Amino acid sequence: MITKTVDVKELVEMIAKNARQASRGLATLPPSVKDGALLKMADALEAEAEKIKAENALDIEAGKQNGLSSALLDRLLLDDKRIKGMADGLREIAALPDPVGEITGMKKRPNGMMVGKMRVPLGVIGIIYESRPNVTADTSALCLKSGNAVILRGGSEAIHSNRVIAKILSTVAEGAGIPENAIQLVPVTDREAVKELLKLDKYIDVIIPRGGYELIRFVAEKSTIPVIKHDKGVCHVYVDKDANIKMAEDISFNSKVQRPGVCNAMETLLVHEAIAAKFLPGMIAKFNDAGVEIRGCEKTCAIVSGLVEATEADWDEEYHDLVLSVRVVEDFDEAVDHLADHGSGHTETIVTESYHTAHKFLNCVDSSAVMVNVSTRFNDGGQFGLGAEMGISTQKLHVRGPMGLNELTSLKFIVYGDGQIRE
């Protein structure tokens, strides 16, 4: 046991050191070298599809033996279509503008020196993720394009798939002029490896955990490295008294039903008391038709009979499923208080025709995306025009909301002087 611990520690430290070394070269690579490598990596994934599928079959087989649900097995599965999807993802990232080196805000100071900021890579990014093996390809590409070295630590359930994908990508990248060790996968999947990784703030600049609540708590508690969390999404639609009823129905329905298993789907519907009797019966009938289970507050249950009554716990729940809690609020302030008390700071939308109320909502609500008259489902890197995303940050530090290439960089000050000294 002790021997094993020491080995994991040494292994992880070596990986981190190598990544740091690679990051130095990566930071100043010309865009053409990075984009050329990405295109070759995409081609290689398609060319090696048979090999990837063979390794993936081992994970699927193990998953079946371990009793994974069919939903999880489906997330794990790689077929030709999904492999092509990964490759196309890499090609799209290659086509995006390079974020590194952009200089902004250059201004002249009273003593004549020019001060501004230059966009630079973060350095070394550690990604800790679960299940879906396409994350291995996506995140490697986003990190490479933004000039960062990446350390990948996927889950045990996808280890064979992750290994073969990482191997193909890193081999092709090196052949295309990317520094050695720019893309590395931690080959062991026990928690010990993660624990050791999280101590290496000397070499790793940021940890991005992508997965369930347990994983994210574990990382936040153990890490001495700054973390960007992709935490849970308890998203809300608030139907204001001045809402257009048809629009409120469409937006509420889309936010809940279009894809209930994702983080930007609605979990709780808030309805202003003054419109509740007019809005809720039709809305809930529509939800019932779509198989959505409704859990209503007392007032909701008084308006529509036969509903399950919501408990306190429902207001904090991320169902990830065709379940919706509904609460009638007295006024705007009660809605905003509910969001502050129960929201996870992910996505909230208001439906209203009132200029004043829309303006107030945008200013008062503290979430990564605050929206007027659109579905919560739009809080997404692609939909927001970022091109590709690394997850949705639910914390306030560094970045909030969808993280694209710019969000994987940092800004350093640069100064052009001419001999200035301080008096």
The separation between the first and the last C-alpha atoms of the chain, rounded to the nearest angstrom, is 61
Min dist. Cβ of residue 38 to a copy of itself (A): 21
With respect to a copy of itself, which residue has the nearer C-beta, 305 or 363?
A: 363
**What number of other Cβ atoms are within 10 A of residue 222's Cβ?**
17
Q: Judging by beta carbons within 10 Å of its beta carbon (0-12, 13-18, 19+), is residue 228 exposed, middle or buried? A: buried
Does residue 200 bind a copy of itself (CB under 8 A)? no
Min dist. Cβ of residue 413 to a copy of itself (A): 4
Pairing relation of β-strands 266-272 and 235-239?
A: parallel
Does residue 250 bind a copy of itself (CB under 8 A)? yes
What is the SS3 assignment for 273? helix
Q: For residue 283, which amino acid is it?
A: M
Stretch that binds a copy of itself, among 1-9, 114-122, 272-280, 316-324 (CB under 8 A): 114-122
Does residue 416 bind a copy of itself (CB under 8 A)? yes
Q: Angle at CA 339, nearest 5°, toward 334 and 341?
A: 90
Does residue 215 bind a copy of itself (CB under 8 A)? no
Min dist. Cβ of residue 231 to a copy of itself (A): 11
What is the SS3 assignment for 79? coil
Among 11, 17, 27, 299, binds a copy of itself (CB under 8 A): 27
With respect to a copy of itself, which residue has the nearer C-beta, 349 or 357?
A: 349
* Two structure tokens written together for 165: 């994908």
* Two structure tokens written together for 28: 């100043």
Count of alpha carbons within 13 angstroms of residue 229, beta-carbon side: 22
* Two structure tokens written together for 163: 């290994």
Does residue 356 bind a copy of itself (CB under 8 A)? no
Min dist. Cβ of residue 240 to a copy of itself (A): 14
Q: For residue 405, which amino acid is it?
A: L
Q: Report the site for a copy of itself in 256-315 (rule: CB under 8 A).
A: 258
Q: How far apart are CA 295 and CA 372, in angstroms?
A: 25
Place of tokens 């609460």: 327
Does residue 418 bind a copy of itself (CB under 8 A)? yes
Stretch that binds a copy of itself, among 10-18, 65-73, 275-283, 390-398 (CB under 8 A): 390-398
Residue count at the site for a copy of itself (CB under 8 A)?
70
Q: Report the site for a copy of itself in 221-240 (rule: CB under 8 A).
A: 221, 224, 226-228
Q: 410: Cβ–Cβ under 8 A, 6 or more apart, which residues?
A: 119, 120, 121, 122
From residue 361 to residue 380, the character string flagging contacts with a copy of itself as x (rule: CB under 8 A) and all else as - is -xxx-xxxxxxxxxx-xxx-
Give the binding site for a copy of itself (CB under 8 A): 24, 27-28, 101, 107, 109, 113, 115, 118, 120, 122-123, 201, 205-206, 220-221, 224, 226-228, 244, 247, 250-251, 253-254, 258, 340, 349, 362-364, 366-375, 377-379, 383-385, 395-402, 410-422
